[in-house]
Structure 1
Amino acid sequence: MTLADLLPVNDVAACCSPLTTAPMSVDNATRLAGAIKALADPARLRLLSMVAAHADAEACVCDLTEPLGLQQSTVSHHLRILVDAGYLTRHKRGTWAYYRLVPGALDSVAGLLRSV
Structure 2
Amino acid sequence: MMVHAKELILAAAMLGATSAAMAAPEQDFQARTTGQLLEVCRTKPDDPAHANAMRFCHGFVLGVLARAPRGCTLPREWRRVFAGYAAWAHANPIHLDDNPGNSLVEFLDLHGHCRT
Same fold (TM over 0.5): no
Structure of higher RCO (CA pairs closer than 8 Å, 6+ residues apart) = 1
> TM-score of the superposition, structure 2-length normalised?
0.27
Which structure has the bigger radius of gyration? 2
- Specify which structure has the higher proportion of strand: 1
> TM-score of the superposition, structure 1-length normalised?
0.27
